[in-house]
């Protein structure tokens, strides 16, 4: 349940919508490059429960993909999931410009503009999952159905699991 005041645009959105969540903070290591696995390790949760928020371009259109850190995004499957033909990862600068978040802190909530969202089907495998709360070192734990509902995400197989 939310208990702290909003400090990111993502948390502000969750508070305005009245969605239940738990906030988890950890000390981010600036040398870390795999932000999602760092979050899982520091929070002591399995990799499949932590979802990274990636920006991809599907036929040139920005789209958000939610993928467990236990897997890799399948670009072809992601494109197909939204009726596209080709997908590629957006660059760091483009992702940060379009979302308003820094890499490693991109949240599916509170972005500068709403983009279509696709979530890997494994999001439904757990009673709660973790996504970025809008900055490195800050995660929200939520029910998957709330994430899907708030983002109006399409759900399908878009990841290959490690």
* Residue span of the structural domain in which 124 resides: 9-161
Amino acid 93: pLDDT: 97
Amino acid 101: pLDDT: 95
Residue 86: burial class (beta carbons within 10 Å; 0-12, 13-18, 19+): exposed
pTM of the predicted protein model? 0.93
Residue 74 lies in a domain: yes
Q: What are the backbone angles phi and psi of residue 8, rounded to the nearest 5°? A: -135, 165
> Quick one: how many helices (H) and strands (E) in the chain?
5, 10
Q: Which helix (H) or strand (E) holds 96?
A: helix 92-99
For the chain, how many structural domains are there in total?
Answer: 1
Whether 16 shows a pLDDT value over 80: the answer reads yes
Among residues 77, 84, 63, 48, the alpha carbon closest in space to that of 151 is found at 63
Residue 43 lies in a domain: yes
Amino acid 33: pLDDT: 82
Residue 2 lies in a domain: no
Q: Residues of the chain with pLDDT > 70: what percent?
A: 96
Q: Residues of the chain with pLDDT > 90: what percent?
A: 88
Residue 1 lies in a domain: no
Query: Domain with 25 in it: what CATH number?
Result: 3.90.960.10
Q: Tally Cβ neighbours within 10 Å of residue 121.
A: 12
Q: Cα torsion for 57, 21, 144, 74, to the nearest 10°?
A: 30
What three-state secondary structure class fits 106? coil
Condensed to tens digits (0 to 9), the pLDDT of residues 88-117 reads: 999 999 999 999 999 999 999 999 999 999
Residue 84 lies in a domain: yes
> Cα–Cα distance between 114 and 88 in angstroms, integer?
19
Condensed to tens digits (0 to 9), the pLDDT of residues 19-59 reads: 999 999 999 888 888 899 999 999 999 999 999 999 999 99
Whether 162 shows a pLDDT value over 80: the answer reads no
Amino acid 38: pLDDT: 93
**Distance (Å) of CA 155 to CA 21, 72, 84, 143:** 21, 16, 15, 14
Residue 3 lies in a domain: no
Task: With cut-offs at 50, 70 and 90, classify the pLDDT of residue 6.
Answer: low
């Amino acid at each position: 349940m939310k208990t702290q005041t909003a400090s990111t645009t993502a948390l502000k959105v969750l508070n305005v919508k009245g969605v239940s969540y738990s906030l988890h903070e950890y000390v981010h290591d600036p040398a870390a490059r795999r932000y999602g696995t760092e979050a899982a390790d520091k929070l002591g949760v399995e990799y499949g429960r932590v979802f990274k928020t990636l920006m991809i371009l599907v036929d040139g259109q920005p789209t958000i993909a939610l993928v467990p850190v236990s897997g890799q995004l399948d670009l072809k499957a992601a494109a197909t999931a939204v009726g596209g033909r080709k997908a590629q990862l957006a660059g760091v600068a483009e992702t940060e410009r379009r979302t308003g978040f820094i890499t490693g802190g991109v949240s599916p909530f509170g972005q500068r503009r709403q983009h279509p969202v696709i979530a890997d089907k494994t999001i439904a495998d757990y009673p709660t999952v973790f996504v970025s709360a809008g900055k490195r070192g800050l995660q929200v734990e939520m029910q998957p159905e709330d994430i899907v509902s708030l983002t109006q995400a399409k759900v399908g197989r878009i990841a290959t699991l490690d």
